[in-house]
Structures are given as C-alpha cells and as structure tokens.
Structure 1
Amino acid sequence: MSDAKLFAYLVTLAYGDVDAPTLAQVVFLSDREAEDAGSVATFLLQNAQAQPPQMPRFDWTTLKVQGSQSLSQDELRKLVAAAAKGQVGVGRVSPLKLR
C-alpha cells in the first residue's frame, strides 16, 4: 500500500443540451490538495478514461446523474467518450472529507 496522500473531490459535470444540460456528480481522486474547476476540466479532457492505479482519476463507479440515477455501462462509455472530446463541462469542484 502506498503512503501517498489522496484528496477526494465531488465534481459536478454538465453535458448534453447546452440550454438544459444533464447534471451528474462523480468523485475525483487526486494526489493534489488544491484542485479546481480548471485543473479538473483539463484532466477530464486529457485523461477521462484513466483507470486505477493511475492518479489523478475519476471514480466512475460513483457517478450519479440528476441526483440519484446510475448510468448503464454503455451510457457511461458514451459519457466518458464525450468528456475526452471536450463535450462535458465541469461546473463545481468541492473537497470531500473522507473518514
């Protein structure tokens, strides 16, 4: 097990229709203490498909759409592909306290 400290952030994503986007929340794990919307958006565009153990990364298993809905694997693949094309926005990044 690594001694590296991880920081968790709750990230709000927006995608789909520009006038009425779909909102989703996902946990973003980072080795940096000071992530913001810009740094997370850059990572999302460049590395949306990052999987463990790569850091930083999105924990796509935590994704919830419109508050409580989960996506099917096919829908999730489409979302990740859209993120890699810059078609998903980052609305808010909030630090999480893990206990």
Structure 2
Amino acid sequence: MNTLQRLEATIAARRNADPDSSYVARLNAKGLPKMAEKVGEEATETVIAALTGSDEELVGEGADLIFHLLVLLQARGVSLDQVLAELDRREGLSGLDEKAKRGD
C-alpha cells in the first residue's frame, strides 16, 4: 500500500468519527460544499506557492491540496483507484488531443 492509498484508508476510517476529534469528520459534517470550498482554497494556495513561494511552501500546499481532494472524492464515493484508472487511460495521449476530445 502506498502513501496515497494509506491516506485514503485513513480518511475512510475517520469519516464518521467524532467531529470534535477528527478534522476529516468535521469536514464531512459540514458537507460537500465546504469540502469543495477547501479544495478550491488549497488549489489557490498551491498556485500562489508555485508563483511566489519556496519549494517547501509548494510541497506543503501540494500535500494539502491532495489531502482535501481525497476527502472530497471520498465524500462523493469516488475512489483513488478510479482517478488513477483515468490517468492510466490518458497515458500516452497527447494533452492537446485529450482536451480536443472533451471540447476544452
């Protein structure tokens, strides 16, 4: 089991814990809109760190972003394996071709 799989399992285990003792449970208690807001906040902080921060700040914000994304995915019933399968599907495709298929 790799780091992301362990983190996903930890998030699952804490999802229904006491919100007073678990940040994951607290996020879940606040609902999907709050979880989505946190992903947006962490994405913004990651961008800022990439543009103006140190490598350490970028690493920290990147970790926060991945954590909050995993919380959000789990709340929606989407597994890390599903996301990884999509990345596997895209492997070897031109990013421009992939965007054209989606109409981006």
Return the TM-score normalized by structure 2.
0.24
Q: Which has the larger helix fraction?
A: 2
Q: Which has the larger strand fraction?
A: 1
Return the TM-score normalized by structure 1.
0.25
Task: Name the larger-Rg structure.
Answer: 2
